[in-house]
Amino acid sequence: MIDVMILLFERIGLLLLVAFMLTQIPGFRSLLDRDMAWDTVFYHAIVFGVMGILGTHTGVIMDHETFMIESWLLNVGDHQVLIGFGMVVVMIAGLLGGPYVGLGSGLIVGIYMAFIGGGAWMANSLMNPLAGLITGWTGQFFSDERVIAPNKALFIGMFPPVLYMGMILIFIPNQQTGIEIVNQIGIPLVITNAIALAIITMMIRSALKESEREAAIETNRALSIAEKALPILKDASLAKNAEALAELLYDELDVAAIAIADQKDVVSFVGQGEDHHQVGESIKMRLSQVALETGELQVAYDKSELQCPYESCPLQTAIMVPVYRSREVIGLINLYYRHSQQIRAVEVELARGLGTIISNQLSGFEAERMKELLKEAEMRNLQAQIHPHFLFNTFNLIHSLMRVNHEQARRILIRFSQYMRANLNIASKSLIPLRDEIEHVNAYLDIVTARFQDQLEVKKEIDQDVLDVLIPSATLQPLVENSIQHGLKKIQSKGIVKINVVRIQDSVSIEVKDNGIGFPEELLLSIGKQPFTDRHGNGTALYNVNERLKGILGEDVQLKCRNLDGGGSSVSFLIPIQYDTNEGLERSSI
């Protein structure tokens, strides 16, 4: 029995080697991911079926108690029994690809063995598809792993050979011959098939683990480089920081040299070949031009493709990685190597990943800069919204007061200068203390009430304990101005504006009310969400304030506009408070 087992291991060894080589072909990973379409199932069933046919020809022939060993089995007599190894391949197909791949490959092997014939052709034909189904179903039932554990594969691999021995006893014409075959080959076949299945799963798991470990190392390296590149890329453009970035990449990557270029010239070069690869020279390599034009990574596997005129240049190969900013190619990062063997698939993917990460960082920083410019433009727009009539009316007021009340004219002039200074400083800070914003409102109200002494009354309810809360600048004053300019524009009675600043739990409520005409009902839901045309009044001020609140404090902080039951309107918003336990102060959550 030991001799038979050794013989079977010898015959099955080559088959295991071929099966392992099969796992390295492209597309095999879809088997392990259990994510296959029917065409993929069909393809793998054929591949494993052909391998199973080859395994059949590497088996042994039993003639009663005699083993016939040939290098390639072709003819099987009616009184002989073919013990092939196609079933091992079918079991591997079922274990890796599932029951459908196992069944498909088993049918191919079973039909082929029916044509070969022999005394046990019926058992061989039926057992192969059954073996594929059994290993496929039991493999999925016993394990959710990507590749089943070898000990489980060893256990599963015992069932099909045992069932095969039973079929031989059932279908072989000579019952005595069947018993002799089972006694001779039964236990060795069960052991060799089970061990073969465990070995192949162990080999696949080991190869995958090594591949995934290498991928994890390269991913970690790419992320580490990206983290270190953040401060380099954040402050300025790629060209200005090219030298620092090239030094970083040269230190972190196993390369002979690093070159960084913009769309025309080399802006930095670090590593071997610095004596003749000069900063400032124009891009000459054809593949570099292709990378810039197409935005696709290029690989030069031969020195001639580098187009370097120096014969003694140590640089032999290179990977050219395009760098994007806002979907536009702005430059290249060239990774140079001394030998073409150094450029493996993992190096190409690492270079591609670095290019993507660096491009995303540059695009992100560009978006942040654009956002800051938009905020500044918004502030400039707010500054420009000082109504010309307000300026002229204020100047006329000061001019008139100069003749009748010098002291009041002086006071209004001071308040006007404070008001203008606050407007000019709007763009300098996003957040200011609430007391500064209220001072801005007071300066504006002093000017307006001086003009309309008998027509306007302002009532204030301000909680003095919340004056240190930070709020976005130019938020309260535009609301007050909007109430006076538009809310009270057409009323005949005395206009009243109420400013309420009170604390509500962990927030500060800021509300401006008036007894004016109120908002048009058809526009009430849209106020603050979009600017209105002139015929609806100056809705731009409310829109700008609302956008500013959302942009700085978040979407939860928005204007709430409503009409009051007794006439007039109300515009309000809430500023969240954050506690500072170290200093005992309260600030806004930003």
Cα–Cα distance between 91 and 480 in angstroms, integer?
81
Query: The CATH number of the domain where 86 resides is what?
Result: 1.10.1760.20
Query: The CATH number of the domain where 293 resides is what?
Result: 3.30.450.40
Backbone φ/ψ region at 474: left (φ over 0), alpha (ψ -120 to 50), beta: left
pLDDT attached to residue 580: 42
pLDDT attached to residue 535: 47
Task: Give Dmax over CA atoms of the chain in angstroms.
Answer: 136
Query: Phi and psi (nearest 5°) for 271?
Result: 120, -160
pLDDT attached to residue 374: 64
- Among the three residues 363, 394, 411, which one is the final residue of a domain in this structure? 363
What's the rounded mean pLDDT across residues 10-29? 64
Q: Following CA atoms 30, 35, 38, 43 in sequence, which dihedral angle do they give, to the nearest 10 degrees?
A: 10
Let me know if residue 138 belongs to a domain: yes
Label residues 515-540 b or e (16+ Cβ within 10 Å = b).
bbbbbeeeeeebbbeeebeeeebbbb
By C-alpha distance, which of 108, 102, 61 is closest to 84? 61
Given a cut of 70, is residue 163 above it in pLDDT?
yes
pLDDT attached to residue 510: 92
- Please say whether the beta carbons of 124 and 168 come within 8 A: no
Number of domains into which the chain is organized: 3
Same domain, 160 and 16: yes
* Strand 507-514 versus strand 560-563 pairing type: unpaired
Most confident of 33-37, 219-223, 279-283: 279-283
Which residue's structure tokens are 């040939």? Answer: 70
By C-alpha distance, which of 295, 332, 335 is closest to 318? 335
What's the rounded mean pLDDT across residues 508-526? 86
pLDDT attached to residue 512: 92
pLDDT attached to residue 379: 56
Given a cut of 80, is residue 72 above it in pLDDT?
no
What's the rounded mean pLDDT across residues 60-72? 61
Let me know if residue 108 belongs to a domain: yes
What letter does residue 522 receive in the DSSP assignment?
G
User: 299-313, 468-482, 495-509, 534-548: which range is least confident on average?
Assistant: 534-548
**Residues 207-225: pLDDT tens digits?**
667 666 766 676 677 777 7
Given a cut of 50, is residue 109 above it in pLDDT?
yes
Rg (CA), the chain: 41
Same domain, 405 and 357: no
Let me know if residue 220 belongs to a domain: no
**Residues 173-184: pLDDT tens digits?**
777 777 877 787
pLDDT attached to residue 234: 67
Same domain, 176 and 312: no
Q: Following CA atoms 424, 425, 427, 428 in sequence, which dihedral angle do they give, to the nearest 10 degrees?
A: 150
Same domain, 344 and 403: no
Of residues 581 and 29, the one with the higher pLDDT is: 29
Same domain, 150 and 294: no
Given a cut of 90, is residue 500 above it in pLDDT?
yes
Of residues 382 and 449, the one with the higher pLDDT is: 449
Cα–Cα distance between 505 and 508 in angstroms, integer?
8
* Strand 317-325 versus strand 431-433 pairing type: unpaired
Taking the complete model, does pTM exceed 0.75, yes or no? no
pLDDT attached to residue 117: 76
- Calculate ∠ Cα 316-317-321, nearest 5°: 145
pLDDT band of residue 306 (cuts 50, 70, 90) is confident
What's the rounded mean pLDDT across residues 239-259? 84
pLDDT band of residue 24 (cuts 50, 70, 90) is low
pLDDT band of residue 11 (cuts 50, 70, 90) is low
Same domain, 27 and 154: yes
Could you give the percent of the chain with pLDDT greater than 70?
75
Same domain, 178 and 245: no
Given a cut of 50, is residue 111 above it in pLDDT?
yes
Query: By residue range, what is the domain housing residue 305?
Result: 236-363
Same domain, 208 and 241: no
What letter does residue 283 receive in the DSSP assignment?
P
Long-range contacts of 526-533 (CB under 8 A, 24+ apart): 527/559, 527/561, 528/558, 528/559, 528/561, 528/571
Same domain, 9 and 108: yes
Let me know if residue 224 belongs to a domain: no
User: 117-126, 421-430, 474-483: which range is least confident on average?
Assistant: 421-430
pLDDT band of residue 583 (cuts 50, 70, 90) is very low
pLDDT band of residue 579 (cuts 50, 70, 90) is very low
Same domain, 341 and 427: no
pLDDT attached to residue 536: 45
Backbone φ/ψ region at 531: left (φ over 0), alpha (ψ -120 to 50), beta: beta
Let me know if residue 226 belongs to a domain: no
pLDDT attached to residue 585: 42
Cα–Cα distance between 58 and 555 in angstroms, integer?
72
Which residue's structure tokens are 């990062």? Answer: 333
Of residues 550 and 139, the one with the higher pLDDT is: 550
Same domain, 297 and 436: no
Let me know if residue 183 belongs to a domain: yes
Let me know if residue 372 belongs to a domain: no
Given a cut of 80, is residue 459 above it in pLDDT?
yes
Burial bucket for residue 222 (CB in 10 Å: 0-12, 13-18, 19+): buried
Let me know if residue 227 belongs to a domain: no
Cα–Cα distance between 323 and 329 in angstroms, integer?
6
Query: The CATH number of the domain where 399 resides is what?
Result: 3.30.565.10
Of residues 476 and 63, the one with the higher pLDDT is: 476
Same domain, 258 and 163: no
Q: What is the DSSP string of 393-444?
A: HHHHHHHHHHHH-HHHHHHHHHHHHHHHHHHHTGGG-SEEEHHHHHHHHHHH
Using alpha carbons, list the distances in angstroms from residue 293 to 65, 145, 298, 328.
Answer: 73, 44, 11, 10
